[in-house]
Structure 1
């Protein structure tokens, strides 16, 4: 058997394993998937990684445009999780847990590499820029080029907390409770208030751009 044939066979096994994992876990609640993984189920681990890694990368690249740092942090998280299997606490929302972990890991790594001057999360103010894609359904509009530009401009004038909250709500489909957990608010109403203020700011910024400052 040639090396090429062996490689193709290995890839087939991986694909089959992923297909089986999806079939087994796609309709199960997060708490069951996490419990299975914590008990050592490789299919559960495969499902968690394949299903959540893309969202983690998209969230991470908004914090820093250093792709290598984001990829390293994602890898570090999954290495840690595999090593700690059997010791992990119960998780009800896997995505919320992973995004929260990723944010902390990126900040830790950037601070360690002295890529930022301050260890305060607000120092990400200028680097956390949301790029609105054609598929993003913000404010439930079919965006044209000019509207997209206006919304991008408005989003990037928000505070980092506001931008994170808007991204998590509209792009990731998170609940207010999950957003509060990721952003480490003690109360859900804090996340709700943050998003309301963010949307009001977006509305005001766009209206000012389109119609000018009120007299």
Structure 2
């Protein structure tokens, strides 16, 4: 007779594959997923990690070109979150929360490195470089390749802050409020104006071709 059914059951637990966890959480809100994780649900933790780890690396790489440092910071972040389960605050948007955390983690790890002692506005031109999908609706079908190249070039002529805001808004789907918090603006309208101006600048950069 098995005197410890709990330990016996635990031995038979098999981790779910990512596509299986997606089925569990695809219809749940970020708040529900985060709550499950915070209550100790290991499947929710794995889902969050597998869903966002690649995007976190892409985002973190914009703050440090040291890939190993970014990977270490991501690992440290998830170790911290796992250790703090049960004590974490509610989260409405997991992506925005994780971006904010990894940004802080990288800043903490590089603050003593002289090469990083500059303001965000002084980032080199490659910061928040944006890639354009060939399928984007902004490209006219009759000259898709040339327009694709022009759009990519024009996007990267914007300021680093403008590129960052557009990336967060269009690619990551963050709200003005979330972008404002992530970019440490005191008012939401600052993020809104930044995106509007970025779009206006982009239109001006594209005018020579679009007006032919």
TM range (shorter): 0.7 to 0.9
Secondary structure, counterpart of 2:111 in structure 1:
helix
2 CA distance for matches of 1:148 and 1:125?
23
Confirm whether residue 141 of structure 1 aligns to residue 139 of structure 2: yes
Q: Determine the structure 2 residue equivalent to 1:35.
A: 35
Per-residue deviation, residues 72-114 of structure 1 (Å, max 9, x unmatched): 2211211111111111111100001011112222233233333
Deviations 1:21-53 (A, max 9, x none): 322222111111111111111111001111111
TM-score scaled to structure 1, two decimals? Answer: 0.79
> Secondary structure at the residue paired with 1:112?
coil
Aligned mates of 1:177, 1:96 — CA distance in 2: 10
Q: TM-score, normalised by structure 2?
A: 0.80
Q: Find the aligned partners of 1:201 and 1:188 in 2 and give their Cα distance.
A: 20
Does the 8 A contact of 1:77 with 1:101 survive in 2?
yes
Cross-structure match for 1:170: 170
Partner of 1:4: none
Alignment gaps of 5+ in structure 1: 1-12
CA 1:74–1:135 in 2, change beyond 3 Å: closer, same or farther? farther
Question: Tell me, which stretches of 5 or more residues in structure 2 are unaligned?
Answer: 1-13
Task: Report the CA distance between 1:126 and its aligned residue.
Answer: 2.8
| Corresponding position of 1:3 | none
Q: Does 1:26 align with 2:2?
A: no
How many angstroms does 1:201 deviate by? 1.0
1:188 deviates by: 2.1
Structure-2 residue corresponding to 1:58:
58
Cα deviation, residue 20, structure 1: 4.1
CA contact (8 A) 2:139 2:147 kept: no
Cα distance change on mapping 1:133 and 1:158 into 2, 3 Å = closer
Paired residues of 2:180 and 2:191 also in contact (CA < 8 A) = yes
Count of residues in correspondence between the two structures: 197
1:87 and 2:102 equivalent? no
CA displacement 1:131-178 (0-9 Å, x = unmatched): 3142574x6436833223322322222222211110011111222222
> What CA distance in whole angstroms lies between the structure 2 residues aligned with 1:126 and 1:44?
38
Aligned-residue RMSD, C-alpha: 2.6
